[in-house]
Amino acid sequence: MFGMKYILAIDQGTTSTRSRVYDEKGKCVSGAQLEFPQIYPQPGWVEHSPAEIWRSVKNTAAQALSAAGLAPRDIAAIGITNQRETTAVWDKRTGEPVCNAIVWQCRRTADYCKKLVKDGFSERIYNKTGLVPDAYFSATKIKWILDNVDGARERAERGELLFGTIDSYLLWKLTGGRSHFTDYTNAARTMLFNIHTLEWDGELLRLFDIPRAMLPEVKPSSYDFGETETDGLRGVHVLGIAGDQQASLFGQGCFEAGDIKNTYGTGCFLLMNTGEEPVKSQNGLLTTLGATAGGKPCYVLEGSVFVGGAVVQWLRDGIGLIKSAEESERAAKEAADSGGVYIVPAFTGLGAPYWDSNARGTITGITRGTTREQIVRAALESIAYEVYDVVKAMEKDAGIKIARLSADGGASANGFLMQFQSDILRAEVVSRAGESTALGAAFLAGTCAGVWNEEDIRRILGSEKVGVFAPSMEEGRRLELLQGWAAAVKRTVYKP
């Protein structure tokens, strides 16, 4: 119905924006990427200029189209995926943001969140939103803007201001101010959205003192969000929206309950599809919404590892043991094993399932004979152990034993890491070197446009080049290594 051909995926990330064009076979035919400035007004604060983000989107989209020799009329649909939780507030009439967007990483509302925990709000908030009170999520950022930007609260109460996560801001810009919508996956990260009733929560809006009129309407991830009115990109329908991690889950084809993916980036993001039922976590994981091609979202368990590929950056930039991230694979393979060395990279504390913010990293088991290669190997192994811990917590919470883990992100290119992950999990690991986040957004838009159905997507994914790693480690050895890891973690936990 929208004229079939190509899908444009806009992937608006934390440090850069990427636009990619996919053809009907799901093949990426062109792409463009632009970085934009990170603004640090004070230690711990992070902002983005909405105008810079918008510029990066327009420019990368134009470059991607022109590189493929395409015009907007060749594009059947646009899919948007975005950095989650980052908060923008703008004037409904002029489109002018009232201040810079507050980025998910920004800690300016951390004290207020601590107070929420102390005042006993954690359980109420978790039961409604699936989240634990934290400065990451949008709610306290919106409150901060209304409380601190001159005149913002009055203007919001008069109905003059709009709030949006980045997807919502981009959609509004793309449609010339006609569409003020978001999708379930982005709404679920605001800490204002009830993931059980699928509605904005009146009690939470009162708690954070946020006028309902500011909020976008919440729609399914695969939906006709409106038509573009932008110069150079006119008359195309935006048919898909999802937060980056949920787009990657969809782009990996994790459609069924029990399907799980991990993105091995700077940190690691694990998401498990739990189907139609929300799973309450006993292990400090988050419960959130996932993207589907249908009218209803699925439920998802989410856990993250703070230091993933960052431990490899530390080997390279911090202590200079390797010259490039790729070299870590060669070095690790040169060592037959880590020789009993364990690195617990708790640089900023231990996350799920330990939750010890005072812990700091350790290296244990060093002897006079320990080599550089063994340290590098132990660093890569630590990523796999951390992921193992989160997977086990998810399995326990969901009562599901996983058979396979889908992997993406920069460090998923490391064959040693992928094999070790498979051995330690005793599960197959399927690593996709490609960009599953943008692909997920394209799939969501393409299914809504009628270009693909779920079967087509499975076929597209099935024909992609992937690395498949099957477990081959002897069970006794695996248990011995896991015991060693548990002992190292025990020594890392902070004891005053």
Q: Does 413 bind ligand ADP (CB under 6 A)?
A: yes
- Stretch of residues binding ligand ADP (CB under 6 A), selected from 96-104, 117-125, 174-182, 304-312: 304-312
Q: Per CB under 6 A, does 414 bind ligand ADP?
A: yes
| Distance, CA of 411 to CA of 60 (rounded, Å) | 25
Would you count residue 309 as binding ligand ADP (CB under 6 A)?
Answer: yes
Q: Which two tokens stand for residue 273?
A: 């599809």
Q: Min. distance of Cβ 44 from ligand ADP in angstroms?
A: 19
Task: For 24-74, give the DSSP string.
Answer: TTS-EEEEEEEE---B-SSTT--EE-HHHHHHHHHHHHHHHHHHTT--GGG
Rounded (to 5) percent helix, strand, coil in the chain? 40, 25, 40
Segments in 335-474 forming alpha helices (H): 372-398, 415-425, 436-448, 454-463
Count of positions on this chain that bind ligand ADP (CB under 6 A): 15
252 makes contact with ligand ADP (CB under 6 A): no
List the interface residues with ligand ADP, window 321-340 (CB under 6 A).
Answer: 325-326, 328-329
**Does residue 265 interact with ligand ADP by CB under 6 A?**
yes
| Cα dihedral 62, 65, 71, 74 sign | negative
CB closer to ligand ADP, 67 vs 325: 325
Distances (CA, A) of 2 to 78, 201, 375: 11, 35, 55
Q: 281 to each of 123, 288, 405, 476, how far by Cα in Å?
A: 12, 11, 20, 30
Nearer to ligand ADP, 77 or 312 (CB): 312
Q: Are strands 6-12 and 75-82 parallel, antiparallel or unpaired?
A: parallel
Question: Is 60 or 447 the residue whose CB approaches ligand ADP more closely?
Answer: 60
Shortest CB 268 distance to ligand ADP, Å:
9
Cis, bond preceding 353 (omega within 30 deg of 0):
yes
Position 411 contacts ligand ADP (CB under 6 A): yes
The yes or no reply on residue 410 touching ligand ADP (CB under 6 A) is yes
Q: Which is nearer to ligand ADP, 389 or 408 (CB)?
A: 408
At 318, phi and psi to the nearest 5?
-80, -55
Q: Is 409 in the site for ligand ADP (CB under 6 A)?
A: yes
Residue 215 or 379 having the CB closest to ligand ADP = 379
**Given 33, 63, 283, 313, the residue binding ligand ADP (CB under 6 A):** 313
Q: Which residue lies nearer to ligand ADP by CB, 125 or 379?
A: 379
Interface residue with ligand ADP, options 30, 175, 266, 422 (CB under 6 A) = 266
- The CB-of-313 to ligand ADP minimum distance in angstroms stands at 4
Q: Is 33 in the site for ligand ADP (CB under 6 A)?
A: no
Quote the distance between the C-alpha of residue 29 and its chain's center.
24
* 310 interacts with ligand ADP by CB under 6 A: yes
Q: Are 226 and 217 in contact (CB under 8 A)?
A: no
Residues of this chain that bind ligand ADP (CB under 6 A): 265-266, 309-310, 312-313, 325-326, 328-329, 409-411, 413-414
